[in-house]
Amino acid sequence: MLTFIPLKAQAGITGFESPAAEYTDLSLTLDQLLIDHPSATYLGIVEGESMQGVGIFPHDILVVSRAEKVVSGDVIVATLNGTFVCKIADTKYMRLLSSSPDFKTYQLNDGDEFIVEGVVTRSIRMHRPFKRSLI
């Protein structure tokens, strides 16, 4: 079940109570909102600019599920020849697509070491850099 918090737009910032005042005890957590399969989900931080066309930018956080079956057009995280990549899966032609024209399509070959690590189910935009190390 999803709980929406109705917020009314206001022109000023004086003389009104916080719009969240009556919602101080919501039963919905960010985990429940963002993660469908907790035991099969991990988070990753984006490096690189090849997926900006689908709204994934450097330093964003990806919610990646190993429980989802990959279908063509999904954004996936995989290891390709020992390197983590985030690409669009083209399962029909066995290709990895970038969403930016500045990056080439990668045709998977028989000799490639390729493992899908999961499907990107959500991404979280980071408007400010982390103030502390995550490791």
Q: The domain that contains 86 carries what CATH number?
A: 2.10.109.10
Residue span of the structural domain in which 50 resides? 42-124
pTM: 0.78
Q: Are 40 and 72 in contact (CB under 8 A)?
A: no
- Give the chain's domain count: 1
Q: Specify if 32 maps to a domain.
A: no
- pLDDT > 70 fraction of the chain, expressed in percent and rounded: 79
Rounded to an integer, the average pLDDT of 7-16 is: 49
Domain-embedded: residue 104: yes
Does residue 72 have an active-site annotation?
no
CA distance 63 to 46: 11
Query: Is pLDDT above 90 for 88?
Result: yes
- Among candidate residues 8, 18, 39, 50, the one labeled active-site is 50
State residue 22's pLDDT score. 59
**Does 87 participate in catalysis according to the annotation?**
yes
Asked whether residue 22 is assigned to any structural domain, the reply reads no
Point out the catalytic residue in the list 65, 87, 98, 123.
87
Mean per-residue pLDDT over the chain, rounded: 85
